[in-house]
C-alpha cells in the first residue's frame, strides 16, 4: 500500500514526488508514456518567468514569483541548468508605454524585486538586434531559462535515491475508492494507495473525472508552435524578448536557451485534440511575422527544426490546486498552463503545506541530498578533457559531432537510474542528435551503442516508444 501515488512525470509531478520523497512516506509515480516528461514539459519556452505577467492576487502570480526564487535556491542541490538571461518586454508606441507602466506596477505588486523601464537608446545598447522602432522596454533581470526535462530527470533521480518508485508505460485508466484507500487501475496493473496527486497535465481533468462526480475544471488545450535556431546563433540576443501580452497569451517570444539555441514562438491556438502537436504552415508564418516585429535580422536560416506543445489551459483560469471535496487525500494539480514550469517548485511546496495542514508528515532522517552531476564533456577545459579521457577512454570517442557528446556520456545515460534505451530518450539526456544535422550522423551510432549495452538486436531498438524501431531487418551481414 502506497501513501501517495503521483500521476504524471512532467515538471509538476516531478517536483511533487521529489518533495514527498523527503518524508516518511511510500510514494510511487505513474507515467503513461515510455519516458519521463514527454507532455507540456518537453515542449515549452523553458523560461523561468519573473512574475510580471500573471493577474494580481492569483496563485499563478504568487507561485510564479516564489518558483523563480526556488529555482535559484535548488540550483546547486539539484544541478539545475539555469541561464540568468533577464528579459525585455518591448513597447512600440505611446499607448504601449502606458501598458508597460501598468506591467511594471503589476510586477512590483506581484513581488518581482527588479522591474524597471529603459529608454529606446538604453535598450538598443544592451540588445542591438531589437528593431529600431521601439519606444522603450520593461527590463526584468530576474527572468531566467532552464532545460525543463533535465530538471525532471534530476528531481526523479534524487527522489528515487530516497525511495520513490517510478512506473513508466502505466496509464491510469480507472480510480476507485475502496474503504479507506484508493485502487488505481492502469493498463498494466493495479496500485493501492491512501492518497493521490493528480499531475496529469492536459489530461488532469480526465484523471479527475475518474474519481469526482462534479468535475471542478476542464482543460481547454491551447497549442503553441516554435522554430528552433541552432546554437551557432548564440549571442544574437542576450535576453528573452516578450511583446506586450494579450488576453490570449504572452505572445510570440524570442528566447535564448541554456545550450545556446534560440526558440522563436509560440502562437496560441485553441485545439480540440489534446495530443495534436503538429506544426502548421499558417502557425509558423504567424510566429515568424510576429517575431520580426520585435527583432531585426533574425537568423531564420539557422532553423534546425520546428515543434509544438499543448498548454493545459482551463476554464478555471487560475491554477486549480485543491484537495478533492469528497475524496480525502486526493489532490488535483490541474489547469497548470504557463507559468507552470516556473511555478512547479512552488506548487510542490504549496501541496506539502496543504497536506501537512491536515495530515501529519514526518521528515526522513536519512534523506539524501542530490549528488552533484558531472559537467558535460563539451564544457570542460582541454586539460580536464584529456584527464577524463585518460581515466575513461570512451570519452575520447565523440559520437555526436554537432553537440560534442561522447560515447561514455551515452553509456552513462543508458545506465543511469533514470536512463533510457530509446534514440529519443538518449537525445533528451545527452543532446546527441539535437544539433544542426538532427541525428543524421550520430543516430545509427547511438542505436548500435544502445543495442550493445542492452544486449539487444539493433532491430529491437526503438526510436521513441514500444513498436517504433528504426531498423526493420538486416539487409546484409
Ligand X SMILES: Cc1cc2nc3c(=O)[nH]c(=O)nc-3n(C[C@H](O)[C@H](O)[C@H](O)COP(=O)(O)OP(=O)(O)OC[C@H]3O[C@@H](n4cnc5c(N)ncnc54)[C@H](O)[C@@H]3O)c2cc1C
Q: For binding to ligand X (CB under 6 A), which residues are involved?
A: 7-13, 30-33, 38-41, 43-47, 49, 171-172, 199-203, 207, 224, 266, 309-311, 336-342
Shortest spacing between CB 283 and ligand X, in angstroms: 11
Q: Which is nearer to ligand X, 11 or 423 (CB)?
A: 11
CB of 362 to ligand X, least distance (A): 26
| Count of CB atoms situated within 10 Å of the CB of 416 | 13
- In the complex, minimum distance from the CB of residue 390 to ligand X, in angstroms, rounded to a whole number: 40
Grid cell locating 276 = 495534436
Angle, CA 111 vertex, CA 110 and CA 112 arms, to 5°? 100
- Give me the numbers of helices (H) and strands (E) for the chain, helices first please: 12, 23
Of 5 and 400, which CB lies nearer to ligand X in the complex structure? 5
Q: How far is 322 from 320, CA to CA, in rounded Å?
A: 6
Least Å distance, CB 336 to ligand X, is: 4
Indicate the residue whose CB is closest to ligand X: 340
CA–CA distance, 468 with 459 (Å, rounded to integer): 10
**218 classed as catalytic:** no
**Closer by beta carbon to ligand X, 24 or else 169:** 169
Q: Give the integer Cα–Cα distance in Å for 138 and 134.
A: 12
- Which one of the listed residues 49, 52, 259, 332 is annotated catalytic? 49
CA gap 411, 454 in Å, rounded: 10
Contact predicate 16/30, CB 8 Å: no
Closer residue to ligand X, CB minimum distance, 45 or 193 = 45
Closer CB to ligand X, 50 or 413, in the complex: 50
Between residues 136 and 339, which has the closer beta carbon with respect to ligand X? 339
Question: What SS3 state is found at 14?
Answer: helix
- Spatial separation of the C-alpha atoms in residues 74 and 16, rounded to whole Å: 14
Beta strand pairing call for 82-83 and 144-146: antiparallel
Cell numbers describing residue 165: 518508485
Alpha-carbon distances of 190 from 28, 182, 335, rounded to whole Å: 12, 10, 26
CA 3 remoteness from chain centre: 26
Rg (CA), the chain: 23
Residue whose C-alpha is closest to residue 319's, from 109, 62, 102, 15:
62
Q: How many CA atoms lie within 13 A of 298 on its CB side?
A: 26
Minimum distance from CB of 429 to ligand X (Å)?
16
- Residues that are catalytic: 49
Amino acid at each position: 500500500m502506497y501513501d501517495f501515488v503521483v500521476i504524471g512525470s512532467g515538471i509538476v509531478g516531478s517536483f511533487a514526488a521529489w518533495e514527498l520523497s523527503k518524508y516518511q512516506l511510500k510514494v510511487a509515480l505513474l507515467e503513461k508514456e515510455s519516458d519521463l516528461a514527454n507532455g507540456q514539459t518537453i515542449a515549452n519556452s523553458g523560461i523561468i518567468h519573473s512574475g510580471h505577467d500573471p493577474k494580481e492576487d492569483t496563485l499563478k502570480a504568487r507561485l510564479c514569483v516564489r518558483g523563480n526564487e526556488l529555482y535559484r535556491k535548488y540550483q546547486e542541490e539539484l544541478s539545475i541548468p539555469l541561464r540568468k538571461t533577464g528579459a525585455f518586454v518591448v513597447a512600440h508606441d505611446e499607448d504601449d508605454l502606458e501598458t508597460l507602466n501598468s506591467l511594471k506596477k503589476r510586477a512590483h505588486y506581484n513581488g518581482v524585486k527588479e522591474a524597471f523601464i529603459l529608454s529606446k537608446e538604453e535598450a538598443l545598447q544592451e540588445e542591438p538586434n531589437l528593431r529600431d522602432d521601439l519606444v522603450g522596454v520593461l527590463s526584468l533581470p530576474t527572468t531566467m531559462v532552464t532545460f525543463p526535462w533535465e530538471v525532471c530527470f534530476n528531481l526523479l533521480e534524487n527522489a528515487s535515491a530516497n525511495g520513490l518508485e517510478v512506473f513508466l508505460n502505466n496509464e491510469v485508466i480507472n480510480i476507485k475508492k475502496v474503504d479507506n484507500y484508493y485502487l488505481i487501475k492502469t493498463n498494466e496493473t493495479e496500485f493501492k494507495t491512501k492518497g493521490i496527486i493528480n499531475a496529469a497535465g492536459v489530461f488532469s481533468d480526465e484523471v479527475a473525472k475518474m474519481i469526482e462526480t462534479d468535475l471542478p475544471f476542464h482543460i481547454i488545450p491551447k497549442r503553441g508552435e516554435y522554430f528552433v535556431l541552432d546554437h551557432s546563433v548564440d549571442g544574437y540576443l542576450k535576453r528573452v524578448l516578450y511583446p506586450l501580452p494579450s488576453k490570449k497569451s504572452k505572445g510570440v517570444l524570442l528566447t535564448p536557451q541554456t545550450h545556446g539555441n534560440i526558440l522563436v514562438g509560440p502562437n496560441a491556438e485553441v485545439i480540440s485534440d489534446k495530443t495534436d502537436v503538429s506544426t502548421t504552415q499558417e502557425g509558423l508564418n504567424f510566429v515568424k511575422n510576429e517575431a520580426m516585429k520585435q527583432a531585426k535580422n533574425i537568423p531564420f536560416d539557422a532553423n534546425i527544426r520546428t515543434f509544438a506543445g499543448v498548454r493545459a489551459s482551463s476554464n478555471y483560469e487560475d491554477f486549480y490546486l485543491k484537495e478533492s471535496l469528497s475524496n480525502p487525500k486526493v489532490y488535483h494539480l490541474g489547469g497548470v498552463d504557463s507559468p507552470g514550469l516556473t511555478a512547479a517548485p512552488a506548487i510542490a511546496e504549496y501541496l506539502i503545506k496543504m497536506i501537512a495542514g491536515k495530515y501529519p508528515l514526518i521528515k526522513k532522517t536519512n534523506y539524501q541530498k542530490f549528488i552533484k552531476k558531472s559537467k558535460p564533456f563539451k564544457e570542460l577545459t582541454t586539460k580536464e578533457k584529456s584527464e577524463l579521457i585518460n581515466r575513461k577512454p570512451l570519452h575520447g570517442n565523440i559520437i555526436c559531432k554537432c553537440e560534442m557528446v561522447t560515447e561514455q556520456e551515452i553509456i552513462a545515460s543508458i545506465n543511469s537510474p533514470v536512463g533510457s534505451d530509446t534514440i529519443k530518450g538518449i537525445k533528451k539526456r545527452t543532446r546527441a542528435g539535437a544539433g544542426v544535422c538532427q541525428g543524421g550522423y550520430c543516430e545509427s551510432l547511438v542505436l548500435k551503442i544502445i543495442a550493445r549495452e542492452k544486449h539487444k538486436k539493433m532491430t529491437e531498438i526503438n526510436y521513441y516508444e514500444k513498436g517504433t524501431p528504426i531498423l526493420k531487418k538486416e539487409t546484409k551481414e
